Amino acid sequence: MNRQKKLQQLFKAKAKKASAKLAPKSKDRYVSKADRLKLETDAGQDPVTSPETPAE
């Protein structure tokens, strides 16, 4: 492999990594099973009203 080809390969790899960092993430953040159960129990005990909705 000659020097020019090696350099071009390195530049392409760096550019690909940089564009991947800027791309939006397609997957949601992982929430463990224990955390999901805890959230469900908290939601079941305390019905939370959001501040955006006016309470009548």
Q: What is the pLDDT of residues 8-56, one digit of tens each?
A: 999 999 999 999 998 887 888 899 999 999 999 988 876 555 566 665 5
What pTM was computed for the model?
A: 0.42
Cα torsion 13, 15, 16, 17: sign? positive
Distance CA 23, CA 25 (A): 6
Dihedrals φ, ψ of 50, to 5°?
A: -75, 145
